[in-house]
Structure 1
Amino acid sequence: MRTETPTSALFSTHRENLATLLKESSIAIVHSNDIYPTNADATLPFKQSNDLFYLTGVAQEETILLLFPDAHDPSDREILFVRETNPTIAIWEGAKLTKAQATERTGIENVQWTSAFHAALDRLIPQTENIYLPTNEHPRADSKVETLNDRFIKECKSQFSLHQYQRLAPLLHKLRAQKSAEEIHFIEKACRITEAGFRRILPRVKNGVGEWEIEAEFIHEFIRSGSKGFAYHPIIAGGGNTCVLHYTANDQPLKDGDLLLMDVAAEYAGWNSDMTRTIPVSGKFTPRQREVYEAVLRVMRFANSILRPGIQLADYQKAIHFRMEKELISLKLFTAEEAAAQPDSKPLVKKYFMHGTSHHLGLDVHDVSPPNEPVAVGMVFTIEPGIYIPEENIGIRLENNYVIGETENLDLMGSIPIEPDDIERLMKA
């Protein structure tokens, strides 16, 4: 098998945990994502709703999960609806899950065809008081395209207007923020595949090689290692492009004397990793590049020391800014006097470090979490400080993935080379 299959027990546990958070006399309904069109008769590759995947492990379109923990008939407490296959679908697309296969994948005994959903809905909704439905409540979401879940909310409210409607997102955000051992295993597997890609490219980077060639080396290693591919569109940025935070063209040749910033990582079994490394194209850092690099590395290690259970992310970011300010002063990018006179509304540090330091990681690269929730054991975060100096053609960002532990954090990318001496040594190989 290309990829390990998560156990059905994982998804059963996720559903059981969600059921305990629902009010009495409640039903929760989650639809799969749509297949999105591009042009002519083409479509984008299907990507499952991560809420549905978290609860079922099913990565198939036209799938619906119905949870009714208080149902009088025990067989109605969990129902999964999946697309019925036929000979035509089997020939053109490949056979879909059978009912038995869906049960094996999810642990749900009552599996029906999607065509039976509305009849079940009409029968079960009158037995409930509350209807929980999912919405995209990620703070950075830009939801201009209506999803299947969005359309169902309109349909359900129109048909069952006197029920009490509840938000499913806050409950799932709370549950998804803390990872089980099995989930961490898959994130760690994605990290190992990412490491293999990074080690593959180190001796191949040199003057004249295209950013796109480095991208190709990564995807080659990821796919041959069992990943389905990139966790997100990779950033392979040389020279001045290292100062463009979301540079994704990846179409320029590399040049001696420049840096190469790579924000690139693999997914595995649906879970993601997220790595950034910055290396010298020539194989050796200039004194100034190394000076900035080591400043970023010190901030990264400081961040790991304070990203501990109980801290609020807003307080964490303030502490990182204060530490970064000291590093930027030591790099002579501004003076201590200028820092003391800066307005609170426009800190000087943001000229050179303008993004956040950490985000949750899991089924989504920028994974969901409750707002204002303190850091807790079992959460998985990135730590990714950076310093960007366009006038010097220097952009350096470093990023690893960490599991928050009771006594210390576990660095899932601790074996991926990051010390400048190690980088230079491996690039000579």
Structure 2
Amino acid sequence: MKYSSIDNNLFISNRKNFCNHLKTNSLAIFQANDEYPRSGDQTHTFKQSADLFYLSGIDQEQTILLLFPDCPNPLYREVLFLRQTNEQIAVWEGHKYTIDEARKSSGINNIFWIDEFWNILPSIIHYATTIYLNTNENDRYDHQVGYRDLRFILDLKQRYPLHQYERSALIMRDLRPVKSNVEIELTSKACNITKDAFVRVLKFVKPGVNEYEIEAEIIHEFIRQGATGHGYNPIIASGVNANILHYTDNNQICKDGDVILFDFGAEYANYNADMSRSVPVNGKFTPRQKSVYNAVLKVMNEAKKMLVAGTIWNEYHEEVGKVMESELIGLGLLDKHDVSKQNPAMPLYKKYFMHGTSHHLGLDVHDFASRYKPFEAGNILTCEPGIYIQQEGLGIRLENDILITADGNIDLMANIPIEADEIESIMNS
């Protein structure tokens, strides 16, 4: 791993919190993510299951975590199964966890090679009443491709059909959104790396550069500082491309007079940053561009005030919509009389601001959390309003990552340039 080691007390605490939510005499099993084929004999870069990492800190393929707090044999109350290395694996793939290294990373004492899993599980599973299994229950995810958890569930239920089965995701959905101090520090590290990449880009951008050249500057800074890489596919959208919300081609020339919309964030120790900025290619906003920019910034600043403990997701987005509506009227994009007669279920501002303002952030960029639970202290949410004007070839989005605390909120990206004048000053320095 490129990142520094993480204090295993984080994972010890996470496991304790998870086990406190289990029914009596329950066993929980978590699987590592698949190694997905890319082509031929190649695989995509491995990305660990967020839930397994959250509970173990183990960042390696072919890993299984077994938790059985009430197991009559103390040896198997908390067990980690790892892929056993050999000389061939060491030559072709490099270093894998030793048992001692895994103990140090996870805080789990009882560690076996993965080949022992099906020898050990039958010896203890009959003493459990309930088995907790995990699947991807992020409500942004629509299952299309089979994965390791699903295959394991089918296998286990065929072997042990009379056990009671429960969903671990219901517990994880409540635990993961509330970040510990260590998780906040890791997210802040990702944000700071993202800041440095953005400042680097501001000094690089000029008319005639390609979007992919800017992308190269970003990943250079990420890797230079020990980030794993991009938290998600970066968006470098100049001119009309900024009106494509998930534009990732990044293959056009940046033209004099256009604005570039950036949306990128570093991943550090599996924790993610998520930032959006919009900058003038030539280092100077036109009056119209600056007016739209400042309108988005005003909406963002008002939205940030609403990100406090107790805020309800839907109510928050409705209130942000009202602020956006006012700004769009001021820009001449909406007519206040039309707005007064609009269908509340289909507000007119959605023509220019069609996405949500915030999402939870953590081990997943769109982190696992409930849309129906009030915001809590410890939540980290993005704040990302935007205005997209296709007829003007202009798209502006601004986004920072906000930590909610008991005393209000903290902008984890407050040190990243965002005022239009500051952006222009850096670009022309």
TM range (shorter): over 0.9
TM-superposition CA deviations, 1:369-397 (whole Å, max 9, x none): 13411000000000000000010111000
User: CA-to-partner distance for each residue in 1:103-137, whole Å, 9 max, x for gaps?
Assistant: 11100000001001011111111001100000111
- Identity over the aligned pairs, expressed in percent? 50
Partner of 1:42: 42
- Quote how far apart the aligned CAs of 1:142 are: 2.5
Please say if residues 271 and 364 of structure 2, whose CA atoms lie closer than 8 Å, have aligned partners that are also in contact. Answer: yes
Alignment gaps of 5+ in structure 1: none
**Is residue 375 of structure 1 aligned with residue 352 of structure 2?**
no
Q: What are the equivalent positions in structure 2 for 1:152-171 lying under 5 Å apart?
A: 152-171=152-171
Deviation digits for residues 332-363 of structure 1 (CA, Å, limit 9, x no counterpart)? 11111000111123210100000000000000
Distance in 2 of aligned mates of 1:60 and 1:69? 24
Residue 394 of structure 2 aligns to which amino acid in structure 1? I
Instruction: Report the alpha carbon displacement of residue 252 of structure 1 after superposing the two structures with TM.
Output: 0.2
Matches within 5 A, 1:123-138: 123-138=123-138
- SS in structure 2 opposite 1:363? coil
Q: Is the 8 A contact 1:242 1:396 kept in 2?
A: yes
Equivalent residue for 1:269? Answer: 269
Return the offset for 1:95.
2.9
SS in 2 for 1:278: strand
Where does residue 103 of structure 2 map in the other structure? 103
For the residue of structure 2 that corresponds to 1:404, the secondary structure is strand
3-state SS in 2 of match to 1:388: strand
Given residue 176 of structure 1, which amino acid in structure 2 is its aligned partner? R
1:42 shift after superposition = 1.1
How far off its partner does 1:143 sit?
Answer: 2.1
* Superposition map of 1:221-260 within 5 A: 221-260=221-260
Deviation at 1:36, TM superposition (A): 0.8
Q: For residue 8 of structure 2, what is the aligned residue in structure 1? A: 8
**Structure 2 length normalisation: TM-score?**
0.99
Classify the secondary structure of the residue corresponding to 2:197.
helix
Aligned ranges 1:313-352 → 2 under 5 Å: 313-352=313-352
Partners of 1:248 and 1:259 lie apart in 2 by: 16
User: Using the alignment, how far apart are the partners of 1:361 and 1:6 within structure 2?
Assistant: 19
Amino acid at match of 1:34: D
Aligned to 2:293: 293
Are the equivalent residues in 1 in contact too, given 2:69–2:78 (CA < 8 A)? yes
Displacement of 1:314 in angstroms is 0.6
Structure 1: how far apart are the matches of 2:87 and 2:216? 37
Instruction: Map 1:5-84 to 2 at 5 A.
Output: 5-84=5-84
Q: Number of residues paired by the alignment?
A: 429
Give 3-state SS (helix, strand or coil) of 1:339's partner.
helix
Distance in 1, matches of 2:63 and 2:427, equals 47
What is the CA–CA distance in structure 1 between the aligned matches of 2:153 and 2:238, rounded to whole Å?
A: 46
Contact 1:86 1:95 in 2 (8 A): no
Give distance in 1, aligned partners of 2:89 and 2:220.
30
1:180-202, Cα deviation, whole Å (9 max, x unpaired)? 00000000000000000000011
Distance 1:83 1:423, change over 3 A: same
CA distance in 1, matches of 2:30, 2:85: 21
Contact 1:170 1:370 in 2 (8 A): no
Deviation at 1:275, TM superposition (A): 0.3
Look up the match of 2:184: 184
Shift of the alpha carbon at 1:2? 4.0
Letter in 1 for 2:333: L
RMSD: 0.9
Secondary structure of the structure 2 residue equivalent to 1:227: coil
